[in-house]
Amino acid sequence: MKNIVVFGASNSKNSINEQLAKWAGAQLEGSEVKVLDLNDYEMPIYGIDKELATGIPSEATQFLSAIEEADALVISFAEHNGNYSAAYKNIFDWASRADRSVYKNKPTFVMSTSPGPGGAGSVIAIAKGSLPYAGADVKGSFSLPSFGQNFSSKEGIAEGELKAKFDEEFSNFKTAVYETSVEA
């Protein structure tokens, strides 16, 4: 059984990105999905002076441990002013100080969604470009525009063309996940 870690890169209690990530993770048959809540990894705002004074917070190493235990990752990014959410960026900053290869070369599927027609396209472009430098083996990406109109808690992606596009992108990720062997 594959262990899949999914999270919405947001600290919203009602994160549409978390909903999308959970749904995508559930598309991997025969897998156990673990959902990370970024609120469980709240830390002081990263700064070198803070790191030198207090060291790496335990929440950063706990986040890294959760990633290490995964066979693959699904991350759906919230877009705040065209970039990562402050909550995600802070966790990433701390985690990368403890281990530069935050994502441990795991097959990774990156997503984004927003209430509007842009589908958080700016942040997904940033993620696709930068995550490989942090050890993410990005195997596909998908941006869902107009979440409220195109996603249903029962059906998932409800609009036909968008579902077909998701399936096409997700198929590369699925192949990578099932080809990855779990070390004994």
Q: Is the pLDDT of residue 182 over 70?
A: no
Q: Using DSSP, how many helices (H) and how many strands (E) does the chain show?
A: 7, 7
Q: What is the pTM of this model?
A: 0.94
* Domain layout of the chain by residue ranges: 2-179
Q: What percent of the chain has pLDDT over 70?
A: 97
CATH topology of domain 2-179: Rossmann fold (3.40.50)
How far is C-alpha 53 from the geometric centre of its chain's CA atoms? Answer: 30
Mean pLDDT in residue range 116-145: 96
Among candidates 166, 76, 140, 155, which has minimal Cα distance to 114?
76
- pLDDT digit string, tens, across residues 90-112: 999 999 999 999 999 999 999 99
E-strand spans in 14-169? 31-35, 72-77, 106-113, 136-144, 151-152, 156-157
Q: Are 96 and 134 in contact (CB under 8 A)?
A: yes
Tokens, residue 84: 């990562």
Please write the tens of the pLDDT for every residue from 14-51: 999 999 999 999 999 999 999 999 999 999 999 999 99
154 burial via Cβ count (<10 Å: 0-12, 13-18, 19+): exposed
CA–CA gap between residue 115 and residue 120 (Å, rounded) = 9
